[in-house]
């Protein structure tokens, strides 16, 4: 996992200069990048809505390898990233009796550990990709967790209109906002407060930049911390940068959102 440095936090990965330098340092990645760019351009032309576009990206990636589709290039890395997420939540007070909403649950990289740990019915996973949810059900069966009765639901937006008010002790979104334009993040923050329990919290990771906010192929989005904190506050929420997450071997940063008061 790439370590955050002053240079990496200032880099604009969408600039031609950055791309040229990266290509010179990593010539073996040029052809795969060109292929992915061509595929993504075709998908963007046929799927104008971002959620529809990224669902198509996930379908394409999942057809090759569901674990790689959620950002893990090996079984070992898939297990390690899931463990990292799970351990962090438990260290921050997650208990078996709590109720968790896992936004972008994917193929249960962290979800299977949460399902195993929580009381039956305590886990609710949502995702925009039917292909990845099918892979999630396979993981559920492989791990023998059917009796835990987890909820796995397909969704198109982040309004949470089908979920009850004040229900979730923990809302969790790992590697979701790193793939989301600001309007999708805004929609989530506008509605997440309604479903949070009074003492609950919402943790999300994001690709942090201290330079110009930008995106690459409309797949990877880079935001300044103050942009996302300010957005949460405009929706009546408190938000803070989680510095202890930075100690973990993960390339993304984390913000925690709670209800004010």
Could you list the mean pLDDT of each consecutive 10-residue stretch along the chain, which spans 261 residues? Answer: 74 80 82 85 85 84 72 81 97 98 96 98 96 94 97 96 97 96 97 97 97 90 97 97 94 94 61
Burial degree of 226 (CB within 10 A; 0-12, 13-18, 19+): exposed
Token couple for 230: 């300010």
Q: Tell me, what's the pLDDT at 111?
A: 97
Token couple for 88: 């962090």
Contact in structure between 189 and 206 (CB atoms under 8 Å): no
Contact in structure between 99 and 163 (CB atoms under 8 Å): no
Nearest to 169 by CA among 244, 220, 103, 94: 94
Q: Which helix (H) or strand (E) holds 173?
A: strand 168-173
Q: Tell me, what's the pLDDT at 2?
A: 58
DSSP state of 249: S
Rounded to whole angstroms, the Cα distance separating 125 from 138 reads: 14
Q: Tell me, what's the pLDDT at 231?
A: 98
Q: Tell me, what's the pLDDT at 110?
A: 96
What backbone phi and psi angles, to 5 degrees, belong to 100? Answer: -120, 130
**pTM, two decimal places:** 0.89
Token couple for 37: 């760019």
Buried b (16+ CB within 10 A) or exposed e, 72-85: beeeeebeebbebb
Query: What CATH number is given for 6-259 in this structure?
Result: 3.40.50.150
DSSP-assigned letters across all residues of 135-186: HHHHHHHHTT-GGG--EEEE-SSS--TTS-TT-EEEEEESSSGGG--HHHHH
Contact in structure between 3 and 252 (CB atoms under 8 Å): no
DSSP helix/strand/coil, 123: strand
Q: Tell me, what's the pLDDT at 69?
A: 56
Contact in structure between 218 and 182 (CB atoms under 8 Å): no
Burial degree of 182 (CB within 10 A; 0-12, 13-18, 19+): middle
Rounded to whole angstroms, the Cα distance separating 198 from 73 reads: 38
Residue ranges of domains in the chain: 6-259
């Amino acid at each position: 996992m790439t370590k955050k440095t002053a240079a990496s936090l200032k880099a604009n990965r969408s600039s031609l200069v950055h791309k040229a330098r990266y290509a010179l340092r990593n010539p073996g990645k040029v052809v795969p990048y060109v292929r992915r760019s061509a595929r993504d351009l075709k998908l963007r032309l046929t799927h104008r809505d971002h959620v529809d576009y990224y669902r198509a990206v996930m379908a394409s990636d999942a057809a090759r390898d569901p674990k790689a589709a959620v950002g893990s290039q090996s079984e070992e890395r898939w297990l390690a990233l899931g463990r990292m997420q799970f351990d962090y939540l438990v260290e921050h007070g997650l208990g078996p009796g709590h109720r968790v909403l896992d936004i972008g649950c994917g193929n249960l990289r962290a979800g299977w550990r949460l399902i195993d740990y929580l009381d039956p019915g305590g886990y609710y996973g949502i995702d925009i990709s039917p292909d990845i949810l099918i892979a999630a059900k396979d993981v559920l069966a492989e791990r023998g967790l059917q009796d835990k009765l987890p909820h796995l639901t397909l969704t198109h937006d982040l309004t949470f209109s089908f979920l009850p008010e004040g229900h979730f002790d923990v809302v969790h979104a790992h590697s979701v906002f790193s793939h989301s334009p600001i309007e999708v993040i805004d929609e989530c923050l506008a509605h997440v407060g309604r479903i949070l329990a009074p003492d609950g919290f919402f943790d999300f990771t994001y690709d942090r930049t201290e330079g110009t906010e930008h995106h690459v192929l409309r797949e990877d989005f880079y935001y300044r911390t103050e942009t996302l904190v300010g957005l949460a506050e405009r929706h009546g929420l408190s938000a803070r940068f989680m510095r202890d997450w930075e100690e973990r071997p993960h390339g993304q940063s984390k913000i925690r959102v709670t209800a004010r008061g």
